[in-house]
Homo-oligomer: A and B are copies of this chain.
Amino acid sequence: MKMKIRKLDAAAADFPRQLSQLLAFEASEDEAIERAVAAILADVKARGDDAVLEYTNNFDKLDATSMASLELPPGELEAALDGLEPKRRAALEAAAARVRAYHEKQRIECGSHSWQYTEADGTVLGQKVTPLDRVGIYVPGGKAAYPSSVLMNAIPARVAGVKEIIMVVPTPGGVRNQLVLAAAHIAGVDRVFTIGGAQAVGALAYGTATLPAVDKIVGPGNAYVAAAKRRVFGTVGIDMIAGPSEILVLCDGTTNPDWVAMDLFSQAEHDELAQSILLCPDAAYLAKVEAAMQRLIDEMPRQAVIRASLEGRGALIKVRDMDEACDIANQIAPEHLEISALNPQPWADKIRHAGAIFLGQFASESLGDYCAGPNHVLPTSRTARFSSPLGVYDFLKRSSLIQVSEDGAQMLGEIAAELAYGEGLQAHARSAEYRLRTS
């Protein structure tokens, strides 16, 4: 059956309205989920291990007798890796090595070093950069358990120098995903607990007798996990709460239309709310891509999801030229941006807002999802306007350093006292004045 895919023309008078309608996505807040999560978190905070154990046995249909029994022995991770089919193991290890290499470069470039400078009067100013002590990684159970996601979350933390990484992953019915455990071993995860849901987020945030509290929680999860992360934010750090995944393809009309069609599918197959949009100045090319999509859809095992996503939220958009395509891309601020063009660099230079920019026809998003090296945890829902891919910098934090010399205290004290009196803060002023030699 033919898909009905939205076709827009950027020259149309009401295109701005159409575009904003296309992009509109409001994460609905479910009161029942909010209440359930609040209750679970409060219970985990109050009763620790006992509460986590009860919820886990209940929700995941287990009959564990202690929190300690929910921790995997380290040997089990190694065994999972050893048990993989050689080709898959090699692929996982190659992907991990590339992700590690990229993030090692990022560590060097991203300002992970402490720095300071000395002023003429001997005052020293600077900033000390320190890795987080302990990080928790949430990994979903069941079908959405992606080993690539384990690599992408754990490796930057390890590269940043985080001392301890604790992974939680629910195992409904006791089923353990061997690829996920193997990925945890490769990524250097220190401890793994087979717990999930809001109870796992609570255990990580507040700590229990068995599971020590972490300083930050990262990783994707369902609506309960997202609600729990929002609620514990402040007690611990969290990564962004991800919206539906998105791809925007800017094409100059020179890429094989089948390739672009499949790139749009690859985003759409994630879930029904995922968004795939193509911008191209060439109407004939847009028609070719649509024809390819109609031809290829029936071959796709996940065609029901792809159809729902493309018909609900996809679009093929005719633009005047590639310059206009870049302007629209900056408005959309997409999670993934493919610039599928013979000479992509001039267009990439015009892009201000995107999570990841893929340049050229060979850079399909799927290569970035698994193994190009950069992180696949990216800002969604236009948040690329103000936020960044998950990276080494998310596992580092800074402290200002202020060492004032006696001479420096004279000059600074005069300024500070004057401004403190101006703000009506006399203790501030006196504290500065005490350091003056004349005082």
The B-contacting residues of A in range 398-439, CB under 8 angstroms, are: 398-406, 408-409, 412-416, 418-420, 422-432, 434-435
Most chain-B CB neighbours within 10 Å: which of A402, A406, A412? A402
Task: Please encode chain A, from 359 to 384, with 1 for each CB lying within 8 Å of some chain B CB and 0 for all others.
Answer: 11111111111111111001101011
Chain B residues with CB under 8 Å of A258's CB are: 434
Binds B, one of A50-58, A75-83, A265-273: A265-273
The B-contacting residues of A in range 271-320, CB under 8 angstroms, are: 300-302, 306
* Copy count, this protein chain: 2
Provided the pairs A362-B405, A415-B371 are in contact, do residues A431 and B300 lie with their beta carbons within 8 angstroms?
no
Most chain-B CB neighbours within 10 Å: which of A125, A216, A353? A125
Provided the pairs A262-B431, A366-B432 are in contact, do residues A359 and B398 lie with their beta carbons within 8 angstroms?
no
User: B357, A427: Cβ atoms under 8 Å?
Assistant: no
Contact partner, A92, options B128, B367, B419, Cβ 8 Å: B419
Task: Please encode chain A, from 100 to 129, with 1 for each CB lying within 8 Å of some chain B CB and 0 for all others.
Answer: 001001100111110101000001110110
Inter-chain CA distance A94–B237, complex, in Å, is 35
The B-contacting residues of A in range 334-378, CB under 8 angstroms, are: 344, 348, 351-375, 378
Contact partner, A404, options B300, B367, B391, Cβ 8 Å: B367
Inter-chain CA distance A302–B148, complex, in Å, is 57
Interface size for chain A: under 10, 10 to 19, 20 to 34, or 35 or more residues?
A: 35 or more
Least Cβ–Cβ distance between A439 and chain B, in angstroms: 10
- Known pairs A268-B427, A367-B412 / 11 extra A-B pairs, C-beta < 8 Å: A88-B418, A127-B391, A128-B351, A237-B386, A348-B401, A360-B404, A363-B403, A369-B416, A371-B419, A387-B397, A388-B398
Q: Spell out A's residues near B (CB within 8 Å).
A: 27, 87-88, 91-92, 94-95, 102, 105-106, 109-113, 115, 117, 123-125, 127-128, 130, 132-133, 143, 146-148, 179, 215-216, 234, 236-237, 241, 256, 258-259, 262-263, 265-266, 268-270, 300-302, 306, 344, 348, 351-375, 378-379, 381, 383-389, 391, 393, 397-406, 408-409, 412-416, 418-420, 422-432, 434-435
